Amino acid sequence: MTWRTVARADADGTYDGVVDRERIMLYDQSWRLLEERIDDDYDAVPGDGADRVCQQVWGARYIDDAVLRRENTDFTNDSPSVTYNSTWYYATDALYSVVAMLSDTNGTPVERVRYLPYGTACHHRAADIDGDGDTDSNNGSVILNVWGAAIGTANYNCEALRR
């Protein structure tokens, strides 16, 4: 058995009470998200179809083994060989917790995630090296651990990174 849920919302930022976005989410029997069909202009012509389709691919090693997420916004090609506009790969740790999202073009990190005690996730942009939530020039290009050792030096210990 699989599941389907529908969410309709006033999501354009004006909060005028007009439902303008519809999301149809398809799940497998383990409640893992498989596909989202997103209609961003639902108020214009309700039921006219999705503007975006996002698919989630799961691995076979474990229930939480997220592999990739891909998005298609080009519906001009009706052939069975659909090409996706964007694909992001998940990098996970030994507990299958997502620690980074990688781009499909060259594998550069798009987002990093670190976890506080009890599993609270803290999301960071890829360029936010110091983890303060911004990507300004204060981030620098040198990563230091808590003892002030720069990456690449003999006394650098990656287990002792600053928060």
Q: Judge whether 14 and 36 are in contact, CB under 8 Å.
A: no
Q: What is the pLDDT of residue 163?
A: 44
Q: Judge whether 21 and 11 are in contact, CB under 8 Å.
A: yes
- d(Cα 68, Cα 72) in Å, to the nearest integer? 13
Is this prediction's pTM over 0.75? no
DSSP code string of 50-84: -SEEEEEEE-SSSTT-EEEEEEE---S--SSSPPP
Q: What is the pLDDT of residue 1?
A: 58
Residue range(s) of every CATH 2.40.128 domain in the chain: 3-130
Q: What is the pLDDT of residue 129?
A: 60
Tens digits of pLDDT across the chain (163 residues) = 588 899 888 877 777 778 888 889 999 998 999 999 888 777 766 666 777 888 999 999 899 899 999 888 776 655 555 677 888 899 998 888 888 888 877 787 888 888 888 888 777 666 666 666 565 555 544 544 445 555 455 554 545 444 4
Hey, what CATH topology would domain 3-130 get? Answer: Lipocalin (2.40.128)
Q: What is the pLDDT of residue 148?
A: 54
Partner residues linked to 4 by β-bridges = 26
The amino acid present at 142, given as its one-letter code, is: V
Q: Judge whether 76 and 65 are in contact, CB under 8 Å.
A: no
